[in-house]
Structure 1
Amino acid sequence: MSAILIFLAGVALIVVWWMARQRLTSKPWLETGQAGDLPRLQGSPLGAAKIGLGVFLAVVGALFALFISAYLMRMGASDWWGLPLPKVVWVNTAVLVASGAALQWAKIETRSDSRGSVNIALMFAALTAVLFLVGQVFAWWQLTEAGYVLAENPANSFFYLITGLHGLHILGGLVVLGRTIVRAQSGRSPETLALSVDLCAIYWHFMLFVWLVLLALFAGWANDFADLCRGLLS
């Protein structure tokens, strides 16, 4: 339970940091600038899109938090047998990190409106995201071939369910990333492209954070950390 509370606290800190970046406490009537600068103000659709994504990520974080809580509570039963992590999972983690780094690179390049570099970075991010999903399917195949099938024990079921849910969120992000690539190649305005890339980058970083938490959970690190927290609180 300590681990899930820490995870929820991390999600809350991310949301608070997000709200601070969106300058929700600013006074828009004191903002100065020309009429052409209005799309950059907090009350614009651009700011609303970022706030909307922040709310969505908070919901996604709560969803994964519930699954992690159920995982930690269920693993104490006598019929629970942990399954080994395939080595390809670590490769998949590195690939997902590379995908997030590519989107961060694209975000930086949008500031100088370097369309060529942005296109390359976005394509690389999409390619590595696809490789991550393929790697996850391969990890599933390795486990089933080794006899760790879905209905064998609750640990297997939780692993397939949670990693599948994470993969679905990556797949949904790929759809949005594909639209962003189309926008980059169709000559959209720098402001619109920068917003799309920024949203994709933040979403990817959040999903990477969730994956690292899940990896720690499946590898057993989260259990040791939870025991440490219990010892400190008791």
Structure 2
Amino acid sequence: MSLFRTLTDKSWEYQGSDTHFSKTRTAAPERIALRFFLGVVGVMFALFITAYFIRMDLEDWRPMPEPLLLWINTLILFISSVTLQWTRMILGRGQRNKLKSGLLAGGILSVGFIFGQLTVWQEMTGAGYYLDTNPANAFFYVLTGLHGIHLLGGLWVWTRASFKVWFGADVEEIRLSVELCTVYWHFLLLVWLVLFALLAST
């Protein structure tokens, strides 16, 4: 399943012979809540991006440099998202060890991304690019900070899903947690790619 199809998947339209599975797909309030939350977060980032474009046209705007580490962090988040997608795909195959490995790898990579972003902040402040010295600096810290906070929130869901896997929960019980976690990671990856392209091009 492609990344776009995963994010736009209309779960309520699925029908199958397995009544329990179909009911899980269509009735889970967590799915509805996630879609609503992603919509709200998407609008929030869209407003910030719009404000970014408006503000950058003023004379006091001085673009920040583009640290190499941002490229590395982007690759780390991409691999994390792909890893969780692979984990989602093997859910129904009874390969619990691979399921554990996939979840663990996805989480560790995500933590690595967050630490990488904090390292970029340290490099920027060490070079004199402080939050309050230029509007471009402020937008950089706000946008990357908001994205990091939402990823931290996702790690809480990842932790709950991991506990279910490690303590032997039934596959159907953990399916929803893993799928929601994966969709959220894909969403944050797309948001970050947009932010990264914006920051790198301006």
TM-score (normalizing by structure 1): 0.79
Contact 2:73 2:116 in 1 (8 A): yes
Contact 2:64 2:129 in 1 (8 A): yes
Alignment of 1:199-210 (within 5 A): 199-210=180-191
Cα gap change, 1:43/1:129 in structure 2, threshold over 3 Å: closer, same or farther?
closer
Alignment of 1:110-189 (within 5 A): 110-189=91-170
Alignment root-mean-square deviation, CA: 2.1
Note the C-alpha offset of 1:33. Answer: 5.1
Provide the rounded CA distance (Å) in 1 between the counterparts of 2:90 and 2:6: 25
Provide the rounded CA distance (Å) in 1 between the counterparts of 2:98 and 2:7: 32
Provide the rounded CA distance (Å) in 2 between the counterparts of 1:118 and 1:16: 21
Alignment of 1:25-174 (within 5 A): 37-41=19-23, 45-46=27-28, 48-174=29-155
SS of the residue 2:35 aligns to: helix
Note the C-alpha offset of 1:109. Answer: 1.3
Structure 1: state its 5+ residue gaps. Answer: 1-12, 224-234
Runs (4+) of structure 1 exceeding 3 A deviation are 13-16, 31-34, 42-45
Could you tell me which residue of structure 1 aligns to residue 8 of structure 2? 17
Note the C-alpha offset of 1:113. Answer: 2.3
Structure 2: state its 5+ residue gaps. Answer: none
Provide the rounded CA distance (Å) in 1 between the counterparts of 2:142 and 2:191: 14
**Greater RCO, 1 or 2 (C-alpha within 8 Å, sep 6+):** 2
Provide the rounded CA distance (Å) in 2 between the counterparts of 1:186 and 1:42: 21
> Aligned pair count?
199
Note the C-alpha offset of 1:59. Answer: 0.8
Note the C-alpha offset of 1:18. Answer: 3.2
Note the C-alpha offset of 1:16. Answer: 8.8
Contact 2:77 2:113 in 1 (8 A): yes
Provide the rounded CA distance (Å) in 2 between the counterparts of 1:17 and 1:175: 23
Could you tell me which residue of structure 1 aligns to residue 179 of structure 2? 198
Matching residue's letter, 1:40? S
Provide the rounded CA distance (Å) in 1 between the counterparts of 2:113 and 2:16: 45
Provide the rounded CA distance (Å) in 1 between the counterparts of 2:7 and 2:162: 30
SS of the residue 1:152 aligns to: coil
Note the C-alpha offset of 1:157. Answer: 0.3
Note the C-alpha offset of 1:45. Answer: 4.1
SS of the residue 1:188 aligns to: coil
Provide the rounded CA distance (Å) in 1 between the counterparts of 2:21 and 2:83: 27
TM-score (normalizing by structure 2): 0.91
Give deviations 1:116-149, integer Å, cap 9, x for gaps.
Answer: 1000000000100000000000000111111111
Matching residue's letter, 2:65? P
